[in-house]
Structure 1
Amino acid sequence: MRRRYTIAATVFALAVVFGGVLVVFTTPTVQTLPAETADDGERDLFRFEGDDSGVWTYLSPSQEFRKRSPINVVVRGDADTVVGALRASDERTWNRTDDRQRHVEPTDSVPEDVNLTGTAIEWGETTGTARYAYVHGGETGEWIRETDQLHNGDYYGHRTHIRLYESPVPDEEPWVAMQVHTEHFDWFTLRHSVDGVEEGQRQVEREFLNEPPVERIWRAHFDNDDPSDADGWATIVELFVALPAFGFGLVSAREIWGRRLTSVDRARVRAIVDRVTVRHGMLFGSIVALVLGVRAAGILLEWYVPALSMHAIAALLYPFIAVGIPIVTYAFARKMTRRMDAAVTGASGLAVAFLLDYGYLGVEVLPIEIVLQRVGVVLALGLIAGGTVHRATRDRHRNRLLAGAVLLWAGLLLGTLFQYIG
């Protein structure tokens, strides 16, 4: 029993160290701030000078004042013109949400008299979870769904995602509020995890800087720097009236100064090296290969098998994460001789897989909930590996280490799927 506790404590310490690495090399954030109770209709709204209408400076996951995503770009112009400028005049495709979700009548095409010069980024069609913007028309306020959604990148990899909200007030010059962020698809939650908002904002800002119809671009402080890596400053784009227009990354190596190894330390290192077998490498490598393989498979299916919907791809590949990783862990750890070796190898394999995945995606910001979930699944897989070793399962009594680890693994994945976690 004492050995079981030692293994659990060791794997827990390893998982905490992994979480510490994520905290050091990324910016942990809170995704949603608590709902505000007061509603005076005149909260933190942005208005163009002379307008009665304004937009609350956050998006909310529900029709209540929850500070989910900071508005970081506002353009004076209608949605068709704004999107037309971003998609340029070539054959690039872009997405318009279902007409039932719109609050204005859709236009079949960009007006013929608009001269669009083209942009450097190809914005394609996409989908995303519902987010609501609060717009106050001067007398009353209302919650509206996104008018359009655009993205650049891979749905199952890394992308820049834009939600656009057009003012529903018909008697004023139109404006479009935009929420731009970078995100990556998280196979352990089956949702997109936001990396940050500043890089996406800079991309869109550069797009408009290259557009001749832009009269001027400036920044206004919205004081919405609570979620993610937002600094509270939004990009404001004003167009000519006569012509309406439109991560945890790979880090550089740091020199680490350590104390000189003693003869006892060297003996311990040699003993550890001598215990390493092919099974250690197969256990470690199979976990890394599964995580990175699912990432690559999702992107390739998205590119080359258009018949598969995004949900179909997720349904096809997610079992390799939820069930495949524990199965290969069981298969390779089963015949190992030391429970501690198996536990450390399994936990290390998953931790390294996460770091490589985030490095490939260029992730620089992670929600603190996701960091904690990652610590939990690393701990759970390490305990599964330790509890799977033959000497741990040959006892007639129930293997509590393995049972508890499987329950923890399943609970964390189900909790994130049903949004109880993250």
Structure 2
Amino acid sequence: MRRSVRIAGTILALAVVFGAVLVVFTTPTVQTLPPETADSDERELFRFEGDDSGVWTYLSPSREFRKRSPINVVVREDADTVVELLRSSDEHTWNRTDETQRPAEPTDPVPEGFNLTGTTIEWGETTGTARYAYVHDGESGEWIRETDQLHNGDYYGYRTHIRLYESPVPDEEPWVAMQVHTEHFDWFTLRHAVDGVQRGQRQVERDLMSEPYVERVWRAYLDNDGPSDADGWATVVELFVAIPVGLGLVSARELWRQRLTAVDRRRIRAVVDRVTVRHGLLFGSIVALVLGVRAAGVLLEWYVPALSMHAIAALLYPFVAVGIPIVTYAFASGIRRRMDAAVTGASALSVAFFLDYGYLGVEVLPIEIVLQRVGVVLALGLIAGGAAQRATADTHRNRLLVAGLLLWAGLLLGTLFEYIG
């Protein structure tokens, strides 16, 4: 019993270290701030000078004032024209992520004098989780769904996602409020995880500034920082002389190396001497499965248009939910020591996550996702330790395997049904 507790404690420490490293190399965030209680007519709205209409500076997942997604781009034009301008590239093929989504074909011609020379970013039509914007016409307010959605990138990889909301007052000069964020598909939650809003905002900002039809680009402080990596500043674009925009730099972090003692070196040599081919197969199979599912999702999205997004998820998710524990058990069963198998399994999944995030270029992660990742690393380490030869010798007291399987299933089911993350 004490040995099992020691192994579980070691894997828990490894999982916590993994989570701490994630916190160091990414920026953990919250996605939703607490609901507000102030009267809706008294809250601050963004308005163009001289306009009666305005928009609350956040989106909400429901028709109540929950600060979920900050508005970070506003364009002085109607939605059809904005969509057409972003999509009018002669160099790229636009991607549809869902055959059932409605098209966003503009009904009005582009105003005379606009030079549609193409954009530098591929914006394609997409769908996403419902987000509501609170718009005010000067007399009363209402909650509206998005007028349109665009994206560039891969549904099952990394993409930039835009939601557009149009002015509710037809008699005023039109405006479109946009919420831009970057996100990646998370195979351990079967949902897109928002990485942040600043990178996507800069993409749209640079894309519009590169076009001759833009008269002015400036930043307005909307005081809507808090969710994700939002800093409270929105890009405001007036069509018909761009200004340079400084790109954010990711600061480098260095790890201090400590000198090893003779005892430390002896211990390391002893561990290295125990490493077998089975350790390598266990480590490599876990990494290959995680990265393979990512690559397969992107390739199926590209080359098998007959498969919907839900069909691809249904096809590949079993490799994550069931395939990873099975492969772990199969290869760990050839390892003698429980500690060796547990550390190898947990380390492999940690490395796979880092490689996956590195490939996607993820810089920001919700804190809920960090905690979930710590949990699944711990769970897989327990499964691997419970599959080792010394653990399976006593089938009636294999606490490591039982605890690992229960934790793995609980975390994945909890995230699927949105109890976690």
Larger deviation, residues 208-217 vs 333-342 = 208-217
Q: How is 1:124-139 mapped onto 2 (pairs within 5 angstroms)?
A: 124-139=124-139
Q: What is the letter of the counterpart of residue 147 of structure 2?
A: T
The 5 Å alignment of 1:244-283 reads 254=254, 256-262=256-262, 264-283=263-282
Q: Separation in 2 of the partners of 1:409 and 1:334?
A: 18
Instruction: Give the Å deviation of 1:420.
Output: 0.9
Aligned amino acid, residue 39 of structure 1: D
For residues 23 and 144 of structure 2, the distance between their equivalents in structure 1, rounded to whole angstroms, comes to 35
Kindly state the Cα deviation for residue 215 of structure 1 after the two structures are TM-superposed: 1.7
**Contact 1:219–1:233 under 8 Å retained in 2:** yes
Specify the alignment match of 2:246 in structure 1.
Answer: none
2:15–2:374 CA contact under 8 A, matched in 1: yes
Please, what TM-score do these two structures have when normalized by structure 2?
A: 0.93
Partners of 2:98 and 2:5 in 1: CA distance:
53
* Counterpart check, 1:157 vs 2:157: yes
Query: Could you say which residue in structure 1 is the equivalent of 2:371?
Result: 372
Any conservation in 2 of the 1:96–1:147 contact (CA below 8 Å)? no
Secondary structure of the residue that 2:127 maps to in structure 1? Answer: coil
The Cα of 1:149 is off from its aligned counterpart by 0.7
> What per-residue deviation string (whole Å, max 9, x for no partner) do you get for residues 96-141 of structure 1?
9999999xx9744643734312111121122211111110111111
Task: Flag the 1:97–1:357 CA change in 2: closer, same or farther, 3 A.
Answer: closer
> 2:125, 2:150 within 8 Å by CA — same for their partners in 1?
yes
1:222-281 CA deviation, whole Å, 9 max, x = no partner?
A: 1111011111100011123xxxxxxxx99968463312422x222211110110000000
Distance 2:358 2:250 in 1: 5
Question: Which 10-residue stretch deviates more, 86-95 or 45-54?
Answer: 86-95
How far apart, CA to CA, are the structure 1 residues paired with 2:294 and 2:89? 32
Task: From the superposition, tell whether residues 95 and 133 of structure 1 become closer, same or farther in structure 2 (CA, over 3 Å).
Answer: farther
Aligned to 2:56: 56
Deviation at 1:19, TM superposition (A): 0.2
Aligned to 1:14: 14
Distance 1:290 1:133, change over 3 A: same
Shift of 1:94: 7.1
Distance 2:357 2:30 in 1: 19
CA distance in 1, matches of 2:137, 2:346: 54
Mapped pair 1:329 → 2:339: no
1:243 aligns to what? none
Residue 298 of structure 1 corresponds to 297
Please give the alpha-carbon distance, in whole angstroms, between the structure 1 residues aligned to 2:296 and 2:101: 33
In the alignment, which residue of structure 1 is the partner of 2:119?
Answer: 119
Q: C-alpha separation between the residues in 2 aligned to 1:16 and 1:335?
A: 27
- The aligned residue for residue 34 of structure 2 is 34
| Cα contact 1:96–1:148 (8 A) shared by 2 | no
Work out the CA distance in 1 between the residues paired with 2:387 and 2:148.
50
The runs of 5 or more residues in structure 2 that have no matched partner are 241-248
Equivalent residues of 2:26, 2:364 under 8 A apart: yes
Q: Hey, what does 2:244 align to over in structure 1? A: none
State how far apart, in whole Å, the 2-side matches of 1:394 and 1:383 are. Answer: 16
The 8 Å contact of residues 288 and 350 in structure 1, kept in 2 or not, is answered as yes
SS in 2 for 1:41: helix
Deviates more, 1:366-375 or 1:329-338: 329-338
Secondary structure in structure 2 of the residue aligned to 1:271: helix
> In the superposition, relative to structure 1, how do residues 160 and 340 fare at CA in structure 2: closer, same or farther (>3 Å)?
same
Equivalence for 2:221? 221
Q: Which amino acid aligns with 2:284?
A: G
For the Cα contact (< 8 Å) 1:134–1:141, is it kept in 2?
yes
Q: Which amino acid aligns with 2:366?
A: P
Following superposition, the deviation at residue 392 of structure 1 comes to: 1.2
Q: Secondary structure at the match of 2:396?
A: coil
Aligned-partner Cα distance in 2 for 1:335–1:255: 34
Deviations 1:361-418 (A, max 9, x none): 0000000000000000000000011111232122252422211111110110011111
Greater alpha carbon shift after TM alignment, 202-211 vs 173-182: 202-211
Shift of the 396–284 alpha-carbon distance from structure 1 to 2, 3 Å rule, reads closer
Q: Specify the code of the residue in structure 1 equivalent to 2:293.
A: V
Distance 1:65 1:124, change over 3 A: same
Aligned to 1:307: 306
Taking the aligned partners of 2:304 and 2:277, their CA distance within structure 1 comes to 37
One-letter identity of the residue aligned with 1:341: D
TM-score, L = length of structure 1 = 0.92
Match of 1:140 in 2: 140
Structure 1 residue aligned with 2:412: 413
- Secondary structure, counterpart of 2:115 in structure 1: coil
TM-aligned CA deviation for residue 173 of structure 1: 1.2
CA contact under 8 A between 1:97 and 1:148: conserved in structure 2? no
Percent identical among aligned pairs is 78
Deviations 1:194-244 (A, max 9, x none): 11111111111111112222221111001111011111100011123xxxx
- In 2: Cα distance, 1:28 partner to 1:398 partner: 38
Matched residue, 2:176: 176
C-alpha separation in 1, matches of 2:173 and 2:94: 27
Change (3 A) 1:332 1:203: same
Distance 1:410-1:100 versus aligned 2 partners, 3 A rule: closer
For the Cα contact (< 8 Å) 1:30–1:228, is it kept in 2? yes
* Equivalence for 1:338: 337
Separation in structure 1 between the aligned mates of residue 259 and residue 59 of structure 2, nearest angstrom:
51
Q: Is the 8 A contact 2:98 2:309 kept in 1?
A: no
SS of corresponding position for 1:32? coil
For 1:36, the aligned partner's letter is E
